[in-house]
Structure 1
Amino acid sequence: MKYEQDITRVLYEAGNNGLSVKKIARHIFNIHNGLFEQTPYEEVYKDVIAYINKNSKSKKDILEKTGKWGHYRLNPNSQADCQLLFNFEEHDTNDDQEKLENKQVDNSLSLF
């Protein structure tokens, strides 16, 4: 399935409240549709439902139901969830920008 990481990222950003299946599918649809790639919403919705059904059956799976009907979130008790959280943390880009500025010093000779 090609939407696994995107679904996990969307649910991670949603937090502990989770999202409904329709909202998850809408986010994934918006991520994957652009000027050059058009994926039908029905196809995305089917894939999202298949992934959720596959990964929310037991207590150790990565997804779990919230108290609301049709809402899912990342399972805090899942070991796979803890591993995936490392991939979504944003790093500080200011340090990277300063390193690039220091490396881009112009040492060429002037022609005039």
Structure 2
Amino acid sequence: MQYDKEILQVLIEAGCEGISVQKISRHVHNACNSLFNPLSQRDIHKYVQQFLLRNCKTDTSLVEKTKKGIYRLNVNNGMTQQLFLQFREDREIVEEAPEKDYSLDLFGNLDSGV
């Protein structure tokens, strides 16, 4: 689901320090909300809380709780290491794609010897 992917991306970007549930839910809401598909911040926050609680139950879970309300990815989990690699590859692909300049030259060729 789109929410799960956004939650994992935020946790990857947060790194070892972790991030609060409130900030994760705000990011997911901003990333998935649109004019044609409005979402409730309360519903998103509830989903994020349930996702994090569901995925931090054991020591080998995908997510681990550091402090009250602060979560991070569990570095001891093999799936987490795979997510880091996948996220890095996705980021490199986006950075490698050069943007083409489609802007028009406002003054024409100034070196034409005029």
After superposition, the CA RMSD in angstroms is 2.0
Deviation at 1:97, TM superposition (A): 3.1
Deviation at 1:62, TM superposition (A): 0.7
The letter of the residue matching 1:25 is S
Partner of 2:4: 4
SS at 2:92 equivalent: coil
| Unaligned stretches of 5+ residues in structure 2 | 101-114
The 1:31–1:92 alpha-carbon spacing in structure 2 relative to 1, beyond 3 Å, is closer
Partner of 2:79: 80
1:20-31 to 2 correspondences below 5 Å: 20-31=20-31
* 2:63 maps to 1:63: yes
Q: Deviations over 1:67-97 (max 9, x none)?
A: x211000000011101111221121667543
Contact persistence 2:56–2:64 (CA under 8 A): yes
Contact persistence 2:3–2:32 (CA under 8 A): no
For 1:26 and 1:13, the matched residues in 2 are separated by: 15
The letter of the residue matching 1:82 is Q
The 1:33–1:69 alpha-carbon spacing in structure 2 relative to 1, beyond 3 Å, is same
For 1:31 and 1:39, the matched residues in 2 are separated by: 11
Q: Deviations over 1:15-71 (max 9, x none)?
A: 1111111111111111111222211111101110110011001011110011x2110
For 1:94 and 1:69, the matched residues in 2 are separated by: 36
Partner of 1:108: none
Percent of aligned positions with the same letter in both sequences?
A: 38
TM-score by length of structure 1 reads 0.77
